[in-house]
Amino acid sequence: MNSITPAQLPDWLRQSSDPDAPEALPVVLDVREPWELQTASVKPDGFELRAMPMRTVPARLLELDRHQPIAVLCHHGGRSAQVVQFLEGNGFTHVVNIHGGIHAWSQERDPSVPVY
């Protein structure tokens, strides 16, 4: 499983973007629960932000494009790692875990994101 830190996200986004389809942005898939999203959320910047609680991912799998780059985000990185493994097992080829989750995001990328 590939992992990146929040600080590495801009480089990953540059490497993952398709110059032939600039409108097709990579996805940051936030798999936290709705109450967590209300507590703290990231601002899309060079990526499409999608919220899909971890427990709903299997039922909503067809909403995701197997060929679109996806970076998975949760609170600390545990749930997102499980989702990455699930996606890879279902044929997704360009998926990474955001190690440290939104907690690390607050420390490395955007201190305005609340820590909880």
Domain ranges in the chain?
2-108
The span from the CA of 58 to the CA of 61, in Å, is 5
Give residue 80's pLDDT.
98
Express each pLDDT in 76-108 by its tens digit. Answer: 999 999 999 999 999 999 999 999 999 999 999
Count other Cβ atoms within 10 Å, centred on residue 70: 24
Higher pLDDT, 13 or 17: 13
Count of alpha carbons within 13 Å of 71, Cβ hemisphere only? Answer: 30
For residue 23, pLDDT over 90 is answered with: no
Q: Indicate whether 13 pLDDT > 70.
A: yes
Q: What superfamily would CATH give domain 2-108?
A: Rhodanese-like domain (3.40.250.10)
Q: Give me the numbers of helices (H) and strands (E) for the chain, helices first please.
A: 4, 5
Tokens 């039922």 correspond to 59
**Catalytic site residues?**
74
